[in-house]
Amino acid sequence: MKKLSARRRHPLAAVVVLLLALAATGGLYAAFAPAGKAQADETSQSLGITEGQKLYSVGCASCHGTGGQGSSDGPSLVGVGAAAVDFQVGTGRMPAQQPGAQIPRKKVIYTQAEIDQLAAYIASLGAGPAIPTKNQVSPEGADIAKGGELFRTNCAQCHNFTGKGGALTHGKYAPSLEGVDPKHIYEAMQTGPQNMPSFPDTTLTEKNKQDIIAYLDAVNGDDTESPGGLELGGLGPVSEGLFGWIFGLGTLVAVAVWVAARTAKAKKS
Amino acid sequence: MSSQDIPEENVPAERASDDHAGHGHGPVAVADEQNPFADPGLPPHEHRIQDIDERAAKRSERLVAMLFVLSMVATVGFIASYVAIPNDKSVYIFPLGHISALNFALGMCLGVALFSIGAGAVHWARTLMSDVEIADERHPIEASPEVKAKVLADFKDGAKESALGRRKLIRNTMFGALALFPLSGVVLLRDLGPLPGTKLRHTLWSKGKLLVNMNTNEPLRPSDVAVGSLTFVKPEGLEEHDEDFQKEIAKAALMIIRLQPEDIKDKQELEWSYQGIVAYSKICTHVGCPISLYEQQTHHALCPCHQSTFDLSDGARVIFGPAGHALPQLQIGVNAEGYLEALSDFKEPVGPAFWERG
């Protein structure tokens, strides 16, 4: 007891007490409250929805409202669909760490099973795009050339010609598409996360989306070859020109200075 | 001013002619109180090892020759790699990473071939060619009075012999011919025209033209366009394989977005929209880049060239950047079959301003 009282003035003591209290309250609530409701429907889907709702109230409700209706801190989730949840939570963007110009991609903190439960709950709030199947997002058999055309028409203005990303206004940016799961690319096109406009199946068909994924896989995939060597970020003529001017011309100037600085005379002065 | 006027002490070069090198080396004037700005002349010439030691000169000669031979080898290597290396072969080279073997070999050979020629030439000039300093004195450019008098006399003689003053017919026709000849060049300038006329004020859009989705090549229905989505459309009847496709789409390119009707702040934009679906020209009014960096939450469209930003919920007003005026909006509606159609052409010229735009 002496040991404990010696540490009660520790700066972290309040935090520890708070956490313990929260865990106790939450644990008690979880143990008693929802038990009555869950008995009504025992199918696996509705179980998923119930589980998802639990996860939602813990991780999402503070910003998006207790019923997904949205608040001043987060938009309404009614009708965004399972695809939006799978994208936002599956890429680690949600839950957001802090408000700002843009919520960045970060470490995913939920398991895929939990994400599916969350998605099932959000999908139950209102009809929206579903999570695409493996076949829908596979680049197999898609038309890479057509995908390139579609990408340059619809995507390249923000994401750069090979999906390297680019800047937008006021600190917002289009992220790089390198190493992004094809499923998430598909969902992003379908749902239009954050400031990205959406490209629903009615204007960019399922086949179109598959072509775009195949194009990205070809130009920006894990085993894409870069015949030119040094890519310099793949950002286009600006970075290449800058490199040429500074390092190319710089080398020439340095060589010229070196040649002229050395005397050819026998007697060094 | 002739050379006789130059004070004696300022002409050092001539006196130096008895020096064995022969070019400006010898006794030089020394500045003193009478003549503080005396020309110090050139410093005494110093020899290079190659000038004194014939073996060093031979070494230099061999080095230069070696560089030239290296260049030859590299050129042969260029041709050999072009023939031998398949263009899909990839190699890992630090620090460039995986790189096409052919590109790398061609670049290296070409670089070595050119660099060796340059390096050889520089080394040759520095070690073996004559490095004796030379002073070349300026001289007056005016001709002597006798020459001037003779030229003037010759000119007068020539004028008299040609009898231009007497044979006025020849003189006048010659002037005429010379004056007319440049006109042939002036006439060719007509090919810069004809003036564009009203072409800059009209696009392919007209009343009843359907809005065709560029991704699917199908006409759009209002229900296809979701809030927050972005779609690019072209006028019905314009196909990508048409000869004038690029010319026409450069003016007619259109972006379709859908807003909540209550988010539309501009009265005319609301009138010209259909259930919140608005159609704006995709061509920037600054210098004509295609604008399509659309932020669906802020409703801002950004031009990638010079960052002009347009507020698509407020009549595409310019809110940042060098663009001079708002993006032109196309008035749209729905036809009897339920497809989106244009209700007229753009009401103002699309794209960058021009002299007569007004």
Chain pair A-B, CB pairs under 8 angstroms = 111
Give pTM, 2 decimals. 0.72
How far is the C-alpha of B278 from the C-alpha of B270, rounded, in Å? 8
pLDDT tens digit sequence for B173-230: 999 999 999 999 999 998 998 888 888 899 999 999 999 999 999 999 999 999 999 9
Q: What is the pLDDT of residue B213?
A: 94
Q: DSSP character for B337?
A: T
With 70 as the cut, is the pLDDT of residue A35 above it? no
Q: Which CATH number fits domain B200-342: 3.30.110.30, 2.30.29.30, 2.102.10.10, 2.40.30.10?
A: 2.102.10.10
Task: Enumerate the domain spans of chain B.
Answer: 49-127, 145-192, 200-342
pLDDT tens digit sequence for B238-274: 998 999 999 999 999 999 999 999 999 999 999 999 9
The CATH superfamily label for domain A132-223 reads Cytochrome c-like domain (1.10.760.10)
Q: What is the DSSP string of A207-227?
A: HHHHHHHHHHHHHHSTT---T
β-sheet bridge partners, residue B90: B100
Q: What is the pLDDT of residue A1?
A: 54
Contacts of A153 in chain B (CB under 8 A): 214-215, 232
CB nearest B49 (choices: A195, A227, A266):
A266
Which residue's structure tokens are 């007569």?
Answer: B356
CB nearest A195 (choices: B52, B257, B298):
B298
Nearest Cα residue to B346 out of B331, B334, B326, B325 = B331
CB nearest B297 (choices: A153, A154, A195):
A195
Task: Enumerate the domain spans of chain A.
Answer: 14-130, 132-223
How far is the C-alpha of A60 from the C-alpha of A77, rounded, in Å? 10
Backbone angles phi, psi at B337, to 5 degrees: -85, 0
Distance from CA of A231 to the nearest CA of B (A): 9
pLDDT tens digit sequence for A84-138: 999 999 999 988 888 888 898 889 989 999 999 999 999 988 888 889 988 888 8
- Give residues 50 to 89 of B whose Cβ lies within 8 Å of A: 50-52
Fold of A14-130: Cytochrome Bc1 Complex; Chain D, domain 2 (1.10.760)
Determine whether the interchain pair B223/A202 forms a contact, defined as Cβ–Cβ distance below 8 Å. Answer: yes
Confirm whether A14-130 and A132-223 share one CATH topology.
Answer: yes
CB nearest A264 (choices: B97, B127, B228):
B127
Nearest chain A residue to B51 by CA: give it: A266
How far is the C-alpha of B80 from the C-alpha of B35, rounded, in Å? 68
Determine whether the interchain pair B216/A205 forms a contact, defined as Cβ–Cβ distance below 8 Å. Answer: yes
Contacts of residues B329-332 at CB distance under 8 Å and 24 or more positions apart, as own/partner, are B329/B268, B329/B269, B329/B272, B329/B278, B329/B279, B329/B280, B329/B281, B330/B205, B330/B254, B330/B272, B330/B279, B330/B280, B330/B281, B331/B271, B331/B272, B332/B211, B332/B272, B332/B273, B332/B274, B332/B277, B332/B278, B332/B279
Interface test with B, best of A80, A152, A190, A202 (most B CBs within 10 A): A202
Which residue's structure tokens are 């008690």?
Answer: A28
